[in-house]
Amino acid sequence: MTSAHADPYAQDGAYAWFRLAISILLSALGGSGIWAVVVVLPAVQADFGVDRADASISYTFTMLGFAAGNVFVGRLVDRWGIVWPVIGSAAALSAGFALAGLSSGIWTFSLAQGVLVGAGTGATFGPLIADLSHWFNKRRGIAVAAAACGNYLAGALWPSFIKWSLGSNDWRTTYFMIAAICIVAMVPLALMLRRPAPESAKSADMPASGKFGALSAGLSPRSLQILLIFAGLGCCVAMSMPQVHIVSYCVDLGYGVARGADMLAIMVGGGVVSRLLSGFLADAIGGVKTLLISSVAQCLALFLFLPFNGLASLYLVSLIFGLSQGGIVPSYAIIVREYLPAREAGQRVGLVIMATILGMALGGWMSGWIYDLTGSYQAAFLNGIGWNIMNISIMTFILFKGRPRAAVA
């Protein structure tokens, strides 16, 4: 058999790493759909003369489109490969930003964000990660984790670009600029991914039947998929509590918005570090153990928010939280490849990623609802811990059920 060193187009070969770099760039570009609406929200609100709740519906629509896009585009990737779905994503993003820039009211703006921008962004996260996973075997963990950092990179680059543009243009002109950047930059990058995955990617880590991953959880693929969906929902309901509400929490404590924004930045920065470290860990011990370690660490970090509310301690706990949670989401892609049919990786990864996105949306709303009922974030932190424990329980069950598929009777 030809080794990866002799064949640059084999799994873990030189081309695979080149493909990882292209995937990160595409994810960073496509991530514009998530971050742009956040930055222009105040300007959109003022332009359309609506209140903050009505203006915020555009973000909700975007996240719903993002969740749906991960599943729908994932199915297309399984059938046709990554190139045409990503080109379609670029077209959807470009059209969505342009139509949003031309919109005359908040509802047309929100529909453009949800149907086109959000769904277009979906292709550049879960489906892109699933496609990349076929190109790696020994280094699949770090490759998937690095690709998942493209979303964080988008969060660092796009807000800065948009703030710079808004200094001399209105939000509509800024949206037209983003539309042009997406179509001009993403299509050539997508065309660089035309080479199909090596045949070994669909068979090397599977038994002769070619139907399943190398590990068995002692469950049907459908049952395992359902468990992973609930696990993704649980971990991200918990994850959303600090990420969505840390600024408001700091305001309640009298520390102000700026301190809360600093803590959020620390969480994101810690998330990048933990996401990359989790990739190395997954290559060594597997996706389930990596996710379980990260989930337990996240749960412990949530507990730390309960007794410690001083300024210095909140900075430290925010760092601990960021360093604990970054590896959770990409670990699901590793688990799918370890346990489930490789030829269905796109749609199956997309389903779990959809669950994590819905978990973030549900958790953000639920924490605010609990705060309104109790007048405190203490109960909201406890709610997040409860959902986190559900995730830990599911992953522990999968861990103890799992075994090499060759050992299955």
| DSSP string for residues in 307-337 | T--SHHHHHHHHHHHHHHHTTHHHHHHHHHH
Say whether pLDDT at 154 is over 70.
Answer: yes
Residues 6+ away with beta carbon under 8 Å from 97: 32, 36, 112, 117, 175, 176, 178, 179, 182
Residue 107 — very low, low, confident or very high, per pLDDT cuts 50/70/90?
very high
Segment 278-289 mean pLDDT: 90
- Better pLDDT: 28 or 2: 28
Q: What is the pLDDT of residue 2?
A: 45
Half-sphere exposure of 18 (CA within 13 A, CB side): 12
Is 50 exceeded by the pLDDT of residue 276?
A: yes
Using one digit for the tens of pLDDT, what is the confidence trace for 364-386? 888 888 888 888 889 999 999 99
Range name among 53-57, 272-276, 389-393 with the lowest pLDDT average: 53-57
H/E segment holding residue 268: helix 257-285
Determine the average pLDDT of the residues in 41-62. 81
**Contact in structure between 372 and 153 (CB atoms under 8 Å):** no
201-205, 298-302, 385-389: least confident range: 201-205
* Mean pLDDT (whole number) for 328-355: 87
**pLDDT score recorded for residue 52:** 66
Model confidence pLDDT, tens digit, residues 165-174: 888 999 999 9
Percentage, residues of the chain above pLDDT 70: 91
Out of 195-199, 215-219, 322-326, least confident range? 215-219
Q: What pLDDT was estimated at residue 288?
A: 92
Distance of CA 58 to the CA centre of its chain: 19
Round to whole Å and give the CA distance between 203 and 360. 35
Is the pLDDT higher at 344 or at 210? 344
- pTM as predicted: 0.78
Residue 4: is its pLDDT beyond 70? Answer: no
Cβ atoms 205, 137 nearer than 8 A: yes
What span, in angstroms and rounded, lies between the C-alpha atoms of 176 and 171?
Answer: 9
Quick one: pLDDT band at residue 202, thresholds 50, 70, 90? low
Query: According to the model, what pLDDT value does residue 130 have?
Result: 86
Whether 332 contacts 287, CB under 8 Å? yes
Length of the chain: 409
Average pLDDT, whole number, for the chain? 86
- H or E element that contains 215: strand 215-216
Residue 407 has pLDDT above 60, yes or no: no
| More confidently predicted of 105 and 199 | 105
- 8 A C-beta contact, residue 186 and residue 33: no
Q: What pLDDT is attached to residue 211?
A: 43
Whole-angstrom CA distances from 25 to 18, 108, 159, 292 are 11, 29, 16, 29
- Cα(300)–Cα(1) distance, rounded to whole angstroms? 46
Compute the distance between CA of residue 159 and CA of residue 142 in angstroms, rounded to an integer: 27
Mean pLDDT of the 46-60 span: 79
- Interacting residues of 372 by C-beta distance below 8 A, sequence separation 6+: none
Q: Which two tokens stand for residue 170?
A: 């209105």
The amino acid occupying position 233 is: L
- Tell me: pLDDT of 404 over 50: yes
CATH 1.20.1250.20 residue window(s) in the chain: 14-202, 215-407
Local confidence band at 137 (pLDDT 50, 70, 90 cut-offs): confident
Query: Averaging pLDDT over each range in 67-81, 244-258, 284-298, which range is the top one?
Result: 284-298
CA distances 146 to 24, 74, 110, 296, Å, are: 7, 19, 31, 22
pLDDT at 338: 85
Q: Is the pLDDT of residue 190 over 50?
A: yes
Q: How confident is the model at residue 403 (pLDDT cuts 50, 70, 90)?
A: low
Q: What pLDDT score was predicted for residue 35?
A: 82
What's domain 215-407's architecture?
Answer: Up-down Bundle (1.20)
Q: Measure the CA–CA gap between 117 and 37, rounded to whole angstroms.
A: 10
pLDDT at 149 over 90: no
Summarize pLDDT for 237-269 with one digit per residue, the tens. 999 888 878 888 888 899 987 888 788 888 888
Architecture in CATH for domain 14-202: Up-down Bundle (1.20)
What confidence tier does 34 reach under pLDDT thresholds 50, 70, 90?
A: confident
